[in-house]
Amino acid sequence: MSAVDEVFVRLRADSKKAFMPFITAGDPDLEFTADCLRALDAVGCHLIELGIPYSDPIADGPTIQASYTRALNAGTRLDAIFEMVGRVSSEVKAPIVSMVSYAIIFRLGIDEFLRRATAAGFSGAIVPDLPVDESEQFAAKCEDADFSLIQLITPTTSGDRAVQIAKKSMGFIYYVSIAGITGERKELPPELIENLTSLRKMTELPICVGFGISQPIHAELLKSVADGLIVGSAIVRRMADVKDDVSRTRTLKEISEFASTMIQAID
């Protein structure tokens, strides 16, 4: 089993749900990212999703787009991300999962990406621009490395295709709550519960919900039908004004308190 599998085996045994925050690597710099990883782990986050900055948005809303731009403008590059994760992963109990464009993996090469990602301490990857039909080679090598390739299912995915994706997924299924881009929302789609209930009948894999999740009330709504929640924009927007030691300390405190609130709501 991968480290991601082990988390969900443990949580299911205890009838618990997972909280998975998303942060952008290198926003505003990699030392702050390292501090965020430590802080989110310290408050009990079950997994942490680390976005690898990329110039072309893939379903990213304005908050995460801006975060990627800040990180790239600051000079964040893949080599430095691997180095930082390699330094921090031994201190962090929560598995770290990358959100990464397949263009980055392809350019580096599948074998080299997996070698470096696993050596650094990544436990899996979400690759939003890799269709399941084209994922066979990468998926096979991920499975051999006990590295979870997490696939996405959306509200517009047909039932037959959802079954196909679920069969090829590892670790958990990332269910996209809306047909749209990432971003905080006050209300979630009314059909979301029904969609998740239908998907649950198709697979025994854990199902984690992302896109639009931003408030404890969302956790209360979804914890009976989902195995975990993924929250990005509500955390990433708090990093936009980090400029000095005072704002770094304040933002780390805000992020930690927000994560703690969400964990309590889903527990």
Task: Say how many Å lie between the first and final Cα of the chain, rounded.
Answer: 24
Known catalytic membership, residue 31: no
| Structural contact between residues 207 and 173, judged by C-beta atoms closer than 8 angstroms | yes
Of the pLDDT bands very low, low, confident and very high (cuts 50, 70, 90), residue 178 is confident
pLDDT of residue 166: 94
Strand, helix or coil for residue 191: coil
Other Cβ atoms within 10 Å of 181 Cβ, number: 18
Query: How far apart (Å, rounded) are the C-alpha atoms in residues 52 and 111?
Result: 18
> Could you tell me which residues come within 8 angstroms of residue 28 by beta carbon, excluding any fewer than 6 positions away?
70, 71, 74, 239, 242, 243
Cα 12 to Cα 16, 29, 42, 208, 226: the distances in Å are 6, 36, 21, 13, 11
> Could you tell me which residues come within 8 angstroms of residue 45 by beta carbon, excluding any fewer than 6 positions away?
19, 20, 21, 94, 259, 263
pLDDT of residue 49: 98
Beta bridge pairs of residue 149:
125
Hey, which bits of 52-163 come out as E strands?
96-99, 122-126, 148-150, 152-153
Average pLDDT in the 57-75 region? Answer: 88
Query: How far apart (Å, rounded) are the C-alpha atoms in residues 252 and 242?
Result: 10
| Structural contact between residues 212 and 177, judged by C-beta atoms closer than 8 angstroms | yes
Strand order in the sheet with 207-210: 148-150, 122-126, 96-99, 48-51, 18-24, 228-231, 207-210, 173-176, 152-153
Strand, helix or coil for residue 131: coil
Q: Which of 27, 29, 41, 60 is catalytic?
A: 60
Is the per-residue pLDDT at 184 higher than 60?
no
Of the pLDDT bands very low, low, confident and very high (cuts 50, 70, 90), residue 60 is confident
Query: How far apart (Å, rounded) are the C-alpha atoms in residues 187 and 201?
Result: 25
Known catalytic membership, residue 60: yes
Average pLDDT in the 41-53 region? Answer: 98
Is the per-residue pLDDT at 97 higher than 90?
yes
| Structural contact between residues 121 and 96, judged by C-beta atoms closer than 8 angstroms | yes
Is the per-residue pLDDT at 183 higher than 60?
no
pLDDT more than 90, % of the chain: 81
- Where is pLDDT greater, at 221 or 190? 221
Q: Which of 49, 133, 144, 227 is catalytic?
A: 49
Helices assigned H by DSSP within 43-101: 62-73, 78-88
Is the per-residue pLDDT at 190 higher than 80?
no
Is the per-residue pLDDT at 152 higher than 90?
yes
pLDDT more than 70, % of the chain: 96
The CATH code that applies to domain 3-266 is 3.20.20.70
- Where is pLDDT greater, at 220 or 95? 95
Instruction: Report the chain's mean pLDDT, rounded to a whole number.
Output: 93
Other Cβ atoms within 10 Å of 157 Cβ, number: 20
Query: How far apart (Å, rounded) are the C-alpha atoms in residues 164 and 170?
Result: 12
Is the per-residue pLDDT at 59 higher than 80?
no
pLDDT of residue 238: 92
